[in-house]
Amino acid sequence: MRDDSVTIWREEYRPVIEEIMSSFLDSRGRMMVAAHRGNWKQAPENSLAAIQYSIVAGADMIEIDVHRTSDGALVLMHDETVDRMTDGTGRIADMTLAELRSLRLRQYQGGVCQPLTNYTIPTLEEALILIRGKAMLNLDKCWEFREEVYAALLRTDTVDHALFKSSASPEEVRYFLQDKIKPPLYMHILDSSNEPLVHRLEQLFEQVRPQAVEICFDTEDSALIHPMVLQTIIDQDCRLWVNTMWDSLCGGHTDGASLIDPKQGWQWHQQRGFNMIQTDYTEALIRYLNEQHGAYGWLG
């Protein structure tokens, strides 16, 4: 069945890349939507097709996972192995790009019950070329080989399209960001592994100037989302990013809760200052935001 509300938004209101980038750099700007592993409800996660579906749906940013092959190629896959998502088996780090290219991706989120598709594992550069001029990418699972990823961004002229992320020490992050030909965009992650950092956020902001902070919290009373913590981050001109895919990332205020009652999900996060949401329901979130804030990019 044709979804007219989403179709209208796609055809008339999808922000161009210049608007997306300027909105991202405006820390107090409109809500931004990030598609988790691409639109995997229509194509295999982390596939070029999933990325393309996300672009068409109107996502501002697409989250992808990057791994490195045995011969140094950078490819898109969430797991360390190909078992769940392909007709093969083995660790990506132990396989060549040619070996990976011979495999077929399973539909949606994979598993042996999902059918094989004609899609293959894409390289990072293919994804960068696809999104150039259309959307941004959130780069996950690749901090270990960040310099190689940055080199790929330079080759494809997409440094300003991609957002690095990590929970590394401020010193390590500063070393990576400094003295680059083109400054990378960066988001720092706060979660249970580095929760004490919320008590010394000044150390982070003295050494690193992240454009965004991602917070992963499992309960509503988590120190990670104390109002003073959130306000400190906002006062540093940082965007606040939340993941609404499952309970332990967002204190139970998930996509699923949002589909029943947005006040228990997406709206709950909005009211606390979050202005970037990573979701498994890109079109539903866009529809909700349009209903709340008007058609063009949910500008408030």
pLDDT in tens, 69-93: 999 999 999 999 999 999 999 999 9
Domain limits, the chain: 4-293
Residue 161: C-alpha distances to residues 73, 134, 183, 234 (Å): 20, 9, 11, 22
- Name the CATH superfamily housing domain 4-293: Phosphatidylinositol (PI) phosphodiesterase (3.20.20.190)
Judged against a pLDDT cut of 90, whether residue 65 lies above it is answered with: yes
Q: Which residue has the higher pLDDT, 300 or 248?
A: 248
pLDDT band at residue 181, thresholds of 50, 70 and 90? very high
Distance CA 229, CA 191 (A): 13
pLDDT band at residue 253, thresholds of 50, 70 and 90? very high
Record the tokens describing residue 226, joined without a space.
Answer: 């104390």
Judged against a pLDDT cut of 80, whether residue 23 lies above it is answered with: yes
pLDDT at 11: 42
| Beta bridge partner(s), residue 189 | 214
pLDDT at 14: 57
Judged against a pLDDT cut of 80, whether residue 95 lies above it is answered with: yes
Percent of the chain with pLDDT over 70: 93
Question: How far separated are the first and last CA of the chain, in Å rounded?
Answer: 30
Record the tokens describing residue 93, joined without a space.
Answer: 């780090």
Distance CA 300, CA 279 (A): 20
Enter the DSSP assignment of 145: G
The mean pLDDT of 122-146, rounded to a whole number, is 98
